[in-house]
A and B are shown apart, each in its own frame.
Chain A
Amino acid sequence: MSDFNHTLAFSVPFETARQAQIAQRALDPDPILKPSELSVEYSTEDTFLKIDFKGRSDRVIRVAANNVLENLKTVVECMDEFEGQKDVCI
């Protein structure tokens, strides 16, 4: 939208392109609470995850970016803990 004149673009490198794609697919389904005030787009470029926020104000971008980063940290932690491990039935 044209009045979304505040933007914040994150560039987050991963070890592999696959990790960046997993992060994108994990974050993308989260619905945007105020689509009339904000848009969020996820994409990948090689090993980089790109997150683009466009919004009407600093306030809506701050709330959304903080939430997405909180989720992203959980995604990274899960990869760090579990990637490369075989499933174990207990």
Chain B
Amino acid sequence: MPATRDLIPYAEYSSPDLSKKLTVDATLTHSTNGKTTGPSDHVLGAGAVDNDKPSEAKSSRLGALRGMLTTLQDDVNEFLTQRMKDADAAHTRAEEEADLERRVLDDGVDEDDED
């Protein structure tokens, strides 16, 4: 690991069902151009110019820290986005199961239908 990459940030996540530590591999080079920040590829592909694009990291300890913070930010964003998707999918599944159970128990008969 280069001497300038000794400032290594990390994050610790916890929720009722999961604990996880998110770390950055300091042996790699980290860009300041994040995957989950800035305009989407679709917007850029349509010809947009990113005027807020971050400057390249300097070859200093703080420059390396900024690159590693960008990677950590990407990792946190992707991790939490996946957690949100999983929670939404579980919610939808639970609703479908409850609906199926209700239909089976009711045997397809509508209670309001009394003729």
Contacts and interface: CB of A to CB of B under 8 A. Distances in A.
A65 B76 contact: yes
B93 interface: no
A58 B15 CA distance: 9
A79 B66 CA distance: 11
Interface in A1-42: 5-15
A76 B13 contact: no
Contact of B58 (A6, A7, A73, A80): A80
Contacts of A7: 12-15
Contacts of B69: 12, 69, 72-73, 76
A13 B73 contact: no
Interface in B38-74: 54-55, 58, 60-63, 65-66, 69-70, 72-73
B55 A77 contact: yes
B84 interface: yes
22 contacts: A5-B15, A6-B15, A7-B12, A7-B15, A8-B12, A8-B76, A9-B11, A9-B12, A10-B10, A11-B12, A12-B9, A61-B80, A62-B81, A65-B76, A65-B80, A66-B36, A69-B73, A73-B69, A73-B73, A77-B66, A80-B62, A80-B63
Given A8-B76, A12-B9, A58-B80, 10 more contacts: A10-B9, A12-B7, A12-B69, A13-B8, A59-B80, A62-B84, A69-B76, A70-B73, A73-B32, A77-B54
